[in-house]
């Protein structure tokens, strides 16, 4: 139990740190896993070729992240129900992938730039995906099953 | 187990994107558009390619090189869930005379979809509005209503030029 509390506290602190102090370097990699209910993640990366991987298992979880620059990759996986993702990327040749399994999930993704790609997979019922891409040569793939 | 599924999905998403991007790249090839579609005046088009499992919607402009403008394409799909894709931006055609504005790929079994593309040209040409899937015209009493072939094999692409920009995409 102590370890789990420590883990939760660490993740929370890391999430807060990411929110307040966005990374400006390149080629950074952040991976976060959260289990349980009502977890929240907020992260921001500035620069090129960043990697962000979020996995949340449970319900009522939310992930809000942004990446500004080029050639960034953001991946969010959520398992459970009533989870929420809001992903924003600004720049060119960025990719975001969102996979949500369960019901009542919401995915909101926005990309501003050229040659960007969005992939959203939602398995279950009552899921919602909202994709906005500004620029040219953008690609979005939405799979709801 | 669920982690395995999610992990698999993580890999599937980029693969799907790559596949769609490839489809988009192929769409710029000379075989993508019949000769008749290369217009003297700029027109827009929504091209729909349907495979076994997916529907690929691509917004295209056909115009002489150097023509510029802006576009808005909205795709909505409703079924077990709902999805709304909005793509917009500026463009300028190159020498190929046909340009891809954006690509959207949907699951075929995820419900019905509707796509609308509106293009504004910088040279003052009236706005172009294209929609997909093509609305089928029903002839109740005409002789042509018995042919059947036109409806069954109606092309999935409709190009429509409009003189009004009153079409709301919001």
> Across the interface, do B6 and A134 touch by the CB < 8 Å criterion?
no
DSSP tally for chain A: helices H, then strands E: 1, 11
Q: Is residue B130 part of a domain?
A: yes
Residue whose entry in the numeric block shows the structure tokens 């706005």: B127
Residues of chain B found within 8 Å of residue A135, distances taken between Cβ atoms = 89
A144 and chain B in contact, CB less than 8 A = yes
Q: Is residue B38 part of a domain?
A: yes
The pLDDT tens digits for B90-148 are 999 887 778 899 999 999 988 999 999 999 999 888 999 999 997 665 555 544 433 33
- Band of residue A16 on the pLDDT scale cut at 50, 70, 90: very low
The reported pLDDT for the residue numbered B7 is: 52
> Across the interface, do B86 and A126 touch by the CB < 8 Å criterion?
no
CA distance A16 to A24: 16
> Across the interface, do A143 and B86 touch by the CB < 8 Å criterion?
no
Q: Which of B43, B101, B71 is nearest to A140 (CA)?
A: B101
Domain CATH code at residue B93: 2.60.40.2420
Give the residue numbers spanning the domain of B128: 2-137+147-152
Instruction: Answer yes or no: is the ipTM higher than 0.90.
Output: no
Total tally of structural domains belonging to chain B = 1
CA angle A111, A115, A120 (to 5 degrees): 50
Q: Is residue B162 part of a domain?
A: no
pLDDT higher than 90, residue A4: no
Total tally of structural domains belonging to chain A = 1
Does the global pTM surpass 0.90? no
CA-based nearest residue in chain B for residue A111: B87
B113 and chain A in contact, CB less than 8 A = no
Long-range contacts of A90-96 (CB under 8 A, 24+ apart): A90/A66, A91/A67, A91/A116, A92/A116, A92/A135, A94/A67, A94/A69, A94/A70, A95/A119, A95/B14, A95/B17, A96/A67
| Kind of pairing between the strands at A84-90 and B112-121 | unpaired
B147 within 8 A of B138, measured Cβ to Cβ? no
Q: Is residue B165 part of a domain?
A: no
The pLDDT tens digits for A37-64 are 999 999 999 999 999 999 999 999 999 9
Strands (E), B63-127: 68-78, 82-92, 98-107, 112-121
Give the residue numbers spanning the domain of A86: 2-144
């Amino acid at each position: 139990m102590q370890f789990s509390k420590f883990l939760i506290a660490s993740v929370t602190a890391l999430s807060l740190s990411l929110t307040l102090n966005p990374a400006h370097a390149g080629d950074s990699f952040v991976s976060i896993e959260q289990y349980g209910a009502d977890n929240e993640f907020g992260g921001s990366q500035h620069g090129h070729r960043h990697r962000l991987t979020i996995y949340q298992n449970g319900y009522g979880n939310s992930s809000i992240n942004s990446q500004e620059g080029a050639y960034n990759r953001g991946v969010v996986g959520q398992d459970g129900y009533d989870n929420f993702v809001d992903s924003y990327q600004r720049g060119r040749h960025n990719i975001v992938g969102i996979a949500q399994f369960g019901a009542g999930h919401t995915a909101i993704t926005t990309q501003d730039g050229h040659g960007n790609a969005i992939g959203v997979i939602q398995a279950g019922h009552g899921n919602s995906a909202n994709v906005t891409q500004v620029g040219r040569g953008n690609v979005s793939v939405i799979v709801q099953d | 187990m669920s982690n395995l599924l999610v992990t698999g999905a993580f890999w599937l998403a980029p693969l799907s994107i790559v596949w769609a991007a490839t489809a988009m790249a192929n769409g710029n090839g000379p075989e993508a558009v019949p000769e008749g579609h290369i217009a003297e005046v700029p027109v827009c088009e929504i091209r729909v390619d349907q495979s076994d499992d997916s529907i690929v919607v691509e917004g295209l402009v056909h115009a002489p090189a150097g023509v510029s403008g802006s576009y808005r394409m909205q795709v909505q799909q409703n079924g077990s869930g709902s999805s709304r894709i909005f793509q917009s931006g500026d463009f300028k055609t190159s020498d190929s005379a046909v340009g891809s504005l954006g690509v959207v790929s949907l699951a075929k079994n995820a419900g019905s979809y509707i796509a609308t593309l509106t293009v504004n040209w910088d040279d003052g040409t009236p706005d172009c509005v294209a929609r997909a899937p093509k609305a089928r015209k029903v002839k109740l009493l005409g002789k042509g209503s018995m042919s059947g072939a036109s409806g069954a094999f109606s092309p999935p692409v409709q190009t429509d030029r409009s003189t009004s920009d009153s079409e709301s995409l919001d």
